[in-house]
Amino acid sequence: MRSAVESGVRLRRYAIRAAAVIVGLIVLGRITGILVDWLWFSSVGYGGVFWTILWARALLATAVFTVSAGAIGLSGMLAHRYARPVVDPSQAVVVGPPGTTELTGDLAELVAPHIAWRSSIVWVAIVLGLVIAGGEISNWDIALRFIHQVPVGQRDPVFGRDIGFYLFSLPVYVAIRNWLLRLVLSCAIVTVAVYALRGDIALERPPRTFSAAAFTHGSALLGLFFAVMAWSWWLARFLLLYGDNGVVVGASYTDVHVQLPVLWMLVGLATAASIAIWINMRRRSYRLPIVAALVVFGSAFVFAGIYPPLFERFYVKPSELTLETPYIKANIALTREAYGLAQIEVKPFDAEPGLTLDSLQANRATIDNIRLWDVQPLMDTYAQLQEIRTYYKFLSVDIDRYRLDTGYRQVMLSARELQPSMLPPNAQTWVNLHLIFTHGIGIVMSPVTEKSTEGLPFFYLRDIPPVANGGPPIREPRLYFGEGQQDYVIVKGNVAEFDYPKGADNAYTTYSGHDGVPIGGAARRSLFAWQLDDPNILLSGYIADQSRILLHRNIQERVRMIAPFLTLDHDPYVVASGGRLFWIQDTYTVSQWFPYSRPGFGDGANYIRNSVKVVIDAYNGTVDFYVSDPADPLLRTYQRIFPGLFKPLDAMPSELRQHIRYPEDLFLIQAQLFRAYHMDAPEVFYNREDLWQFPRELVGMDGESTASTMPPYYTIMRLPGDPRAEFILMLPMVPSQRENMIAWLAARCDPTEYGKLIVYTFPKDRLIFGPFQIEARIQQNTEISQQISLWNQMGSRVIRGHLVVVPIENSILYVSPLYLRAASGQLPELKRVIAAYGERVVMEDTLGQALAALFNESVRAGLPALVTTNVPDARAREALAHYDRAIERLKAGDWSGFGAEMDALRPLLEGLGGGRSGGGQK
C-alpha cells in the first residue's frame, strides 16, 4: 500500500514538473514577445504608446484575475471547510511506530483521490481566474476610454444623459456585468462540485437532500446572482436605445411606455429576491428561493417577453405613425449625427439640355481629367509593361492628383513592390529572402485620359530607376515598406542588398534609413532568433555589429501595431512628394454605442469618423498620425490616453497635405445610409416615399457583361457655381426600383474645402437618364453592337469599362471606355471611347473625337483647342519616351529593342510634323 501511495506521489511530482516546464516556456515566449515589441516601439519613437497599452492590459488582467481567482477560491475553500469530513478518524488504525497512523485497505483507496482538496481548489481557482482574465484583457481599450472620457455636449432624448455616457461609460458597465455573471457562475460550479463530491448534495436517489452548509452557501450565491440581475436590468434600460423594431432604431413607443416600466419592476423584484434569499440563509426554507425565482423570471417572461409584443401589435400598430413620430425624429437626427450626414449640403441641379462645345471649352479642366482607364485593365497593362522582373509586383492602382507642368491633373499610379515569393524556387534561400532582396523600387504614373497610338497608357513615371516624363521627379525610389505581406529583413550586413536590375549586371545598395532595431550583439540575435523561430539569425555570418532588423513592413500591420484602436481604410495610397515616396493611410474611430443610430457597417458599428490621416515613409518607415477631425469625441479621448501620438493636420508637410483625399470606405457607408436618411420628415421616412439606391452599370467581357452596382469614383471637375476645378469623390443616385437619376453625391477632397459633402438633386418633374438607362442605349446602338460583335469573332475580347457620369455646369455627360484584349493575351488596350449626351450615343477612337461626334462638329476652329490641346504634348512626351528607351537599349547592346523603339518613334514624329492634331485623329 505504501508503494502505491509513493507511486502516486512520484507521478504527481512528474506531472507538476511537466506543467512547470510548459508554463515556463509559455511565460518565456510572452516575455520575449514583450521585449521584442518594446524594442520595436522604441525604434519607431512610440515607446510611450507601448507602455500605456502594456500597463493597461497588465493592470486589467491582474485585477480581474485577482478578484476572480480570489472569489472562486474563497467560495471553494468555504465549501471545503463546512462540508462533511473526508475521512472518519475512528476508521484510522495504528500500523507504524507510536504517533503515526495509516489508513487501512479499502478506506485508504477511497480517501486517496481527496487528499489534496485545498491544493485542487487553489489550482482550479487559478485556472478559472486565468480563463476569465484572458477573456477580459481585450477590454483594455474601453477601460482607458472610460477613465479619460470627454463629454460630447449632446444629450439623448429619453434619459437626458450626455452621449459620452453611452460612448464611454455604458460599454464598461456592460463588460462588468458580463464578468460578474461569469464569476458567479464559476463560483457556483466549483462550490456545487465540492459539496457534491463530499456528499453534502445527494440528488441521485430519493430523498434528495442538501446539507445545512450547502443550503446556506447556495443561498448566498443565489442572492448574489439576483443582485447582479437587478443591476443588469437597470443597465438594460439604456440598451433600449439600441433596439430595432423595423420602424425605429432606438427606443420606440413600446420601449418607453412598456419596456421601461417593466425593467424598473424587474429591478425591484430582483433586488427584493436577493435580500429575501440572503435572509433565508438562516431560515433555510426551500420554498423561498423557488418562489423568488418563479416570481422574478415568471414576471420577466410575461411582462418583458409576452406583454410588449401584444401591446405593439394591438395598440401601437393601428396608430404607428402618430405614436412613433417623436422616436423616428430621434432616429433620423442621431443617425445623421453619428455618420456625419447632418453636415451634407443640399443643392438643386437643374439638368438643362444646353451643353455645347463652348461649354466644354469653359470646363477644360473637367474634360482633360475624365477617367478612361479602369483599375483592373490598367493594372494588367502595368504588369505587362512595367513589372520588368518576375519578382516585382503591382499590388494596387491608386488615384490621385498632381500639379504638373500640364496643369492640375488626375493620375493613376502604382508602387513596384518586391515579392520574394516570386523569386525562382532555387533562389529562395534565407540570405536572399532576408538580406539581399529587401525592397521594391519606384512607382509608375499615368494620366487618366491619355493613351498612346497603340491604346496603351502614357507614362509620366516609368522604368527602373524611375524616369520622369512629365511627372514629379523621384530621388529616393526604394520601398522598404508597402502593401505586400513582407517578412522581416536585415540591413547593413556584410552582404550588399540588391537594388535593381541593370543591363547584364545588377545595381546594389546599402540601407541608410532610420528604421530598424539594432541586432548586432549576440544577446539580441539570440532574442530575435527565439522570437522569430529562426536560428539563422543567430548562426549567420552575414550579420554585422551595425546590422538592423526591419519588422512590420506591411504598412497596415505597422499602423495597427502602433494604434490598434483605429479602424483602417482598405486602400492606402502611395504619394510622390519632395522626391520621396510616402503612403497615406486613412483611419477611422468607430463605435457600436451611439444611441438611436442605425448600425451601418462592421460588427454592428453605428458611429464613424475619419479622424486620423497616417503618413508612412516608404523608405524610413516613420509613421505620423495627423488629426483630421479634432471635434471627434473618441479622438479627443485617445488624445488624453496617448498625449504624444497625434499631431495637428497643419503639421503635415504642405506638399503632402495637397494629396489628402476623402476616403472611399467612409463615403460608401455615408452614401448607403443617406439613401434613406436624406428624408428628414418622419412621415416621408416612415412611408419610404423617397428611398434612393445606387445605380447599376454593365462591366466585364462583352457577351458576358453583368450588371453590377456602380462604385464611387474620384474625378477632377468644377462644381456648379464654383470658379475652379477640384478633386472630388462622387456617386450618382437613382430612385428605389427605378433607373433614372435622382441626385449625385460629392465629397470634396482639396485641402481648402476638405471633408465637405454636397448632394445635388435633380428635378422630379422630368426624366434624367441614369447610368443603366445609358447602358441600355449603348447596347441598343446598332453600330456599337456590330463593332463589338465583330471584334469578339476575330479572336479578341472586348472589355466594357466603367461608365462615368460627368456633371458639367447644369448638364450631364456620360463617358465609358472600351478595351480590347487578345483572347490569349494579358495586355488590354484602350481602343474606343463611348460618349452619350441627351438622346445621342457615339463611339470613337479618342475622347476628343467622341465629343466632336457627339455634338455633330467634326471640324471647327475652336475644336482642336478644346479637346486636343494636350495631344501634341502627349505625342511629344511619348516620342521622347521611345527615344529614351531606344538610347537605353543601344547602351545595353540590345539592337532588336533599339530597332523596335525607333520603329515606334517614327509615326509619332511624322504625326507631329504633319500637324495632324485635330480631334486626336490619325
Alpha-carbon dihedral 774, 775, 779, 784, rounded to 10 degrees: 80
At residue 746, the pLDDT reads 96
Contact 43, 50 (CB under 8 A): no
pLDDT in tens, 477-493: 999 999 998 899 999 99
Average pLDDT over residues 653-679: 96
In degrees, rounded to 5, the angle at the alpha carbon of residue 891 between the alpha carbons of residues 888 and 895 is: 85
pLDDT band at 90 (very low <50, low <70, confident <90, very high): very low
Average pLDDT over residues 582-596: 97
pLDDT in tens, 517-536: 999 899 999 999 999 999 99
Statement: residue 79 has pLDDT above 90: no
Q: Where are the domains of the chain?
A: 2-321, 357-361+670-863, 391-479+486-551, 567-660, 874-920
Query: What's the residue count for the chain?
Result: 922
Query: What DSSP character marks residue 843?
Result: E
pLDDT band at 452 (very low <50, low <70, confident <90, very high): confident
Q: What's the CA gap between 522 and 536, in Å, rounded?
A: 13
Question: Is 785 in a helix, a strand, or coil?
Answer: helix
Check residues 568 and 209 and name the one with the higher pLDDT: 568
Percentage of the chain modeled with pLDDT above 90: 66
Query: 3-state SS of the chain: helix, strand, coil percent to 5?
Result: 50, 20, 30
Least Cα distance to 62 among 129, 142, 138, 119 occurs for 129
Average pLDDT over residues 345-371: 88
Name the average pLDDT for the chain.
Answer: 87
Q: What's the CA gap between 92 and 432, in Å, rounded?
A: 74
At residue 917, the pLDDT reads 34
Tell me which range, 108-117, 329-338, 447-456, 597-606, is most confidently predicted by mean pLDDT. Answer: 329-338
pLDDT band at 703 (very low <50, low <70, confident <90, very high): low
Least Cα distance to 547 among 526, 529, 525, 527 occurs for 525
The CA–CA distances, whole Å, from 295 to 268, 480, 728 equal 12, 67, 62
At residue 222, the pLDDT reads 95
Q: What's the CA gap between 425 and 126, in Å, rounded?
A: 49
Peptide bond into 309 cis (omega under 30): no
Based on the number of CB atoms within 10 Å of its own CB, is 273 exposed (0-12), middle (13-18) or buried (19 or more)?
A: buried
pLDDT in tens, 774-784: 999 998 998 89
pLDDT band at 3 (very low <50, low <70, confident <90, very high): low
pLDDT band at 367 (very low <50, low <70, confident <90, very high): very high
Determine how many CB atoms are found less than 10 A away from the CB of residue 670: 22
Contacts of residue 399, Cβ cutoff 8 Å, sequence gap at least 6: 371, 410, 411, 412, 448, 573, 713, 714
Check residues 692 and 354 and name the one with the higher pLDDT: 692
Handedness of CA 309, 314, 320, 322 (dihedral sign): negative
Handedness of CA 79, 80, 85, 86 (dihedral sign): positive
Contact 799, 700 (CB under 8 A): yes
pLDDT band at 184 (very low <50, low <70, confident <90, very high): very high
**Residues paired with residue 841 on neighbouring β-strands, in sequence order:** 836
Percentage of the chain modeled with pLDDT above 70: 86
Least Cα distance to 483 among 616, 597, 373 occurs for 616
Based on the number of CB atoms within 10 Å of its own CB, is 281 exposed (0-12), middle (13-18) or buried (19 or more)?
A: middle
pLDDT in tens, 233-253: 999 999 999 999 999 999 999
pLDDT band at 2 (very low <50, low <70, confident <90, very high): low
Handedness of CA 554, 559, 564, 565 (dihedral sign): negative
At residue 837, the pLDDT reads 92
Statement: residue 104 has pLDDT above 50: no
